[in-house]
Amino acid sequence: MRVLMLSKACVVGAYQRKLEEMAALPGVTLRVLVPPAWRDAARGELRLERAHVSGYDLQATPIRFNGSFHLHHYPQFGRAVRAFQPDIVHIDEEPYNLATWHALWHARRAGARTLFFSWQNIARRYPLPFRLGERWVLRTVDYAIAGTQSAADVWRAKGYAGPLAIIPQFGVDPDVFFPAEHPREGEPFVIGFVGRLVEEKGGAILLEALARLDGAWRLDVIGEGPQRTALAGQAQRLGIADRVTFAALPSTQMPDFYRRIDALAVPSLTRPNWKEQFGRVIVEAMACGVPVIGSASGAIPDVTGEGGLIVPEGDSAALADALHRLQAAPDLRRTLGERGRARVLAHYTQAQVAAQTVAVYRALLAR
């Protein structure tokens, strides 16, 4: 089968490992179109990384309205469809986006089977023309993949009646994300925070919790976003600025980062227009044997399972207590890390996600 995938997410090098796994499966000829870069409002410009490109064709294609989540699209996509003549077009986009409408129109014109991917776990009502475009996609597309059950529930509630699979967008490569050979011992207790520096990710709650924590500790923050200055100022006011560092790392350096920390904090906060959709950093950390302390927002408890501790959203005292438990108990950290690694191997590897996705392709062609 000839598969053409359109995915701005695959500019990230670590995510491309799934594509190699897909292309290695029997009968799959894969071409993936990505923009040269994606301008993320919180993380800045994400330039194309070519980290895992064996066995398939990764091509950069021009993008219009780069950075506009709803309006971006790829003007040469129709030409790419005609040149490749795919059996399946995998649109790695939400159904209310112009990129999805544009790609679906060209795919159907060429006679290809189609599917979209969605993380959307809140049933939003969009203004025109996005509401009409979304409705057209739900009536027209051949298959849907949702990243979580809550996302699947949204699209069923909105009227999508076609076949639907629940598969994460990406897994992790356990041969890249693996535990440190010798677990960290001694002080300081190192906490990691990885994500966009925006209010809903809970960075301010984490700093409040850490101000309550005794003993030697350090917080390493990996991410960019509009809250960085405010968070640095908050750390200064709380008297903990000398223990907090801010940095940005390419995706290829994240495994080493996880192996240098004792726990990962994911204190996300649900908002009317957002709740945590999956938490990829959770499975990355667990694959590296790192225990997770997460809030109860969205999919965090389901993804974490027995690989960490869950606390109420917005409760800095409960978060501080959980951090203290891990700080004081290396054996608990080790136990949770082992459970988390086992959970990833059972559910969240790139090979598993690739196999499930290709199974959807085969079902599409068999219909």
Distance CA 323, CA 336 (A): 13
CATH class of 189-347: alpha beta
For the chain, domain boundaries: 2-171+349-366, 189-347
Q: Categorize the per-residue pLDDT at 285 as very low, low, confident or very high, splitting at 50, 70 and 90.
A: very high
Least confident span in 24-28, 119-123, 283-287 = 119-123
Residue type, 210: L
Distance (Å, whole) CA 116 – CA 84: 19
| Domain 2-171+349-366 matches domain 189-347 at the CATH topology level | yes
| Cβ neighbours of 287 (radius 10 Å) | 27
* Helix 330-347 and helix 280-287, axial crossing angle in degrees, nearest 10: 110
Q: Quote the crossing angle between the two packed helices 98-109 and 130-140, to the nearest 10°.
A: 40
Contact (Cβ atoms closer than 8 angstroms) between residue 47 and residue 10:
no
Residue 121's pLDDT is 87
**Three state DSSP letters for 311-336:** ECCCCHHHHHHHHHHHHHCHHHHHHH
Indicate if the pLDDT at residue 42 is higher than 70: no
CA–CA–CA angle 75, 79, 83 (5° rounding) = 150
Judge whether 134 and 106 are in contact, CB under 8 Å.
no
What's the residue count for the chain? 367
**Local structure of 226: helix, strand or coil:** coil
pTM of the model: 0.80
Whether cis (ω within 30° of 0) applies to the bond prior to 272 is: no
Place of tokens 């949204």: 154
Architecture of domain 2-171+349-366: 3-Layer(aba) Sandwich (3.40)
- Which amino acid is present at 286? M
Residue 250 has pLDDT above 90, yes or no: no
Contact 143, 162 (CB under 8 A): yes
What are the tens digits of pLDDT across the range 74-87?
A: 999 999 999 999 99
Tens digits of residue pLDDT in 149-165 = 889 999 999 999 999 99
271/232: higher pLDDT:
232
Structure-block tokens of residue 151? 């996302």
